[in-house]
Structure formats: structure tokens, C-alpha cells
Amino acid sequence: MPSDLAIGIHDLSFRTTSLVLSHTELARRNGTDIAKYHKGIGQRAMSLPTADEDIVTMASAAAAPLVQRHGTDRVRTVVLATESSIDQSKAAGIYVHSLLGMPPNVRVVEVKQACYGATAALQFAAGLVHRDPQQQVLVIASDISRYDLGSPGEATQGAAAAAMLVSAEPALLELTGPSGLFTSDVMDFWRPNYRTTALVNGKESVAAYLEAVQGAWRDYHVRGGLPLEEFRAFCYHQPYTRLAFKAHRQLLETCGAQADEEALDHAVAATTGYNETVGNSYTASMYLALTALLDSPDDLTGRTLGLFSYGSGSVAEFFAGRVRAGYKAHLRGAAHQEAVGKRRAIGYEAYRELRERTLPTDGGWYELPHQTQGPYRLAALRDHQRIYEAA
């Protein structure tokens, strides 16, 4: 096996849900100064699922364009990362495998560690490809974030799925060098099995995130990583987009570099375009940041990007990727803009009604209303089973 084999992201696609609530509407109804949302946390809208949308329908919609473009002959593994799991036993990716018509000779697994899970899946995929460069791995991150109504986290809700095809000689981004790792046992954010909404210690969460930025970067540096000046831009996990700017300020200060607004904008601003209107998509968040950066007008050919993945609890990783020549020919910017732009705006009362609705748990037979605009839907519940179909 050649030692200089390039492995990374060959194709990248994301999708979100069919509904959107603007922060202007949320602020109007809860009495919050809109500047707290637009400037304070850097959010403008949040994606919301219809009754027949969930992590499976989003994941399938995100992955379908990759399957259509590349086929499935070389895909030997599907890894779905989520913290919005729909079953404590069966991997959600098996439903995706079925909806996409993939062959049976594929391993399918689900990965969980808060918002970090997709990066664990990406590294797992890279290892598989390194062992067998002929195979490809489909990695999907899919999540719906939910917080208690009226809680501080409510304005950061969101939903999206990002799908990546990992291969040798990738068209988009080559993973390079070592990873910097950091783990700490903290209770900054968690969701027990008996809850449908997450619990958050806001101050602890920000502090733990920034500590992880520092810890992961220092480990990256010790292990021979590139110096700060080699990076063109940085993609951070974005529970809300302003946190990415705080994270980069922390990194610059850790390195003894100037942390003015111009430096922050140069490194981070182009990564926030999708997350600011989709909201927090947990495992997909950092990969939406990467997608926004690649979809931006700037030519990043040959440039090195820093990627910081964080999952509460907490686990973090800093790693690097080099943008491949010709990457722009493989982007899906128009489709991504369409996915965001076609969402149906709803008012506050409709949002509250959606949030108060729950799926039955008695094992009866229930048909769900056809509301999604996407290609796949959760059609029914029967005998405690979820029934999916092409929409």
C-alpha cells in the first residue's frame, strides 16, 4: 500500500427539514430583543421537522445524491452518527440502507458521542479505506436538536443531515497529518434515555467547549501538527454560530496570535452561512460549516483547513484537511441553497403545536400525515415499528 495514499472526503451533501421558524418570529412572541439572537448568538432561523420527518428521512435525502452520482458498488460500510437515535438497538442507518436500495453486502453501524460522533465515524471510515483503498465508506451525520420551550437553549434548535463519501484520492478534501484529541468528564449537556429534550448547563458548556479547543490544539501541536499560519480557515462545531468566533479567539490567544475582528472573520465567517439559518444540527454541524466554506466563492485549492469537532460530555478532536485541485466541479451549492430556501415558514403557534405533538407509544397502527417536501417520509407506526417510504 503506498504511504502517500490520499484519503478523505470525495463527495459531500446536506439536507434539512421542510419547515422553518425565524428568530424574528420567535423574538416577537417571547419578548426577546432580536439583537440577542442575530448578533448575540448569530442565529436567524431554525429548521423544524414535519410529523413525517426524522433523522432517517433527512439522512436518506442527504445521502441519495451521493448514491446517484457514484453508485454503491464500492460502498462496503455505512456509518450513521446521531444523538437523536430512534431505537436503542437497531441502527438508523439500516433504514437508510433500505430506502436507498443498497446491496446486502454492506456493514451498517450507528455511532454516538454527542455532537462529536460524525468525526469518530469519519476517522473510522478513513481507517477502513486505508486498509482497502478500493472500498468507499458512506458516513452520515443526522440530528434534530430539541430543548424545553422557554429554555435558554430553545433559540439554538435546528435539524439537518450531512452525508460524506470517504475514499482514496478524494475529490474534495484530503485528510492530512495527526489529530489532536481531548476528553474530559463534564456535565455540560446531556439527555437521559427518559427525556426527549436535552439538559444544558450553559456556562459550563461554553467553558468546556473552549477548554477542549485549547486541549485538542495543544495535543495536535505536540504530535507534529502544522503551525497556525499554515491554515486558511477553520471549521468549528457550531451549536450557535457566534461560538465559532469565540472558539477561534481562544485558539489565537493560545497560540499568542492577534485575535482582532478581521482575523476572526477571515478564518471563520465563510463557515457560518448554513448553520445560522438551519440551527444546531449536532453531529452534522461542523460538516455544514465545511460545506458552507467549500460552497463559498473563494478558491481554496491547495489550502489547508482546520477542523474542530466537539461533543459535550466531552470529547473533542482537531484535525486538518487540504482542499483538492478541481474541487469546485464536484460541489452541490445550488442543491444546498435550494434545500434551505424551499422550507415553509411557520408562525409561533404552529411551532408550539408541532413541539407539543408526540408520536404514540402504545404499539397501535397509525398513519402519519404527508407533510414533508423531501423524497422520503416516515409513513406509519405499526406494532412499535417505524414504516418508511419514498415520498
What average pLDDT does the segment 168-178 reach?
98
Q: Smallest Cα–Cα separation from 135: which of 163, 162, 168, 93? A: 168
- Please, are residues 280 and 147 in contact by the beta-carbon 8 Å criterion? no
Q: What is the pLDDT of residue 3?
A: 60
The single residue of 97, 237, 248, 336 carrying the catalytic annotation is 237
Classify 68 as helix, strand or coil.
helix
**Reported confidence tier of residue 202, pLDDT bands at 50, 70, 90:** confident
Cα dihedral 15, 151, 315, 175 sign: positive
- Backbone φ and ψ for 251, nearest 5 degrees, come out as -65, -45
- The answer for residues whose C-beta is within 8 angstroms of residue 5's C-beta and 6 or more apart is 130, 133, 168, 169
Q: What is the pLDDT of residue 344?
A: 98
pLDDT one-digit tens code per residue, 131-162? 999 999 999 999 999 999 999 999 999 999 99
**Annotation marks residue 237 as catalytic:** yes
Domains in the chain: ranges and CATH? 7-390 (3.40.47.10)
The single residue of 83, 110, 174, 276 carrying the catalytic annotation is 83
Whether residue 270 has pLDDT greater than 80: yes
- Please, are residues 114 and 85 in contact by the beta-carbon 8 Å criterion? no
What average pLDDT does the segment 115-121 reach?
98
pTM exceeds cut of 0.95: yes
Whether residue 297 has pLDDT greater than 60: yes
**Annotation marks residue 248 as catalytic:** no
Cα dihedral 241, 173, 325, 302 sign: positive
- Please, are residues 282 and 83 in contact by the beta-carbon 8 Å criterion? yes
Q: Give the Cβ contact number of residue 365 at 10 Å.
A: 11
Alpha carbon distances (Å) from 93 to 12, 69, 103, 311 = 17, 19, 13, 20
Whether residue 1 has pLDDT greater than 60: no
- Backbone φ and ψ for 11, nearest 5 degrees, come out as -150, 155
**Annotation marks residue 235 as catalytic:** no
**Reported confidence tier of residue 4, pLDDT bands at 50, 70, 90:** confident
Taking the C-alpha atoms of residue 256 and residue 253, their distance in angstroms, rounded to an integer, is 5
Beta pairing class for 107-111 and 75-81:
parallel
pLDDT one-digit tens code per residue, 345-376? 999 999 999 999 999 999 999 999 999 999 99
**Reported confidence tier of residue 2, pLDDT bands at 50, 70, 90:** low
The single residue of 23, 53, 97, 115 carrying the catalytic annotation is 115
- The answer for residues whose C-beta is within 8 angstroms of residue 287's C-beta and 6 or more apart is 12, 14, 118, 141, 162, 164
Strand partners, 180: 318
Taking the C-alpha atoms of residue 191 and residue 196, their distance in angstroms, rounded to an integer, is 7
Helix axis angle, 92-99 relative to 55-70, nearest 10°?
40
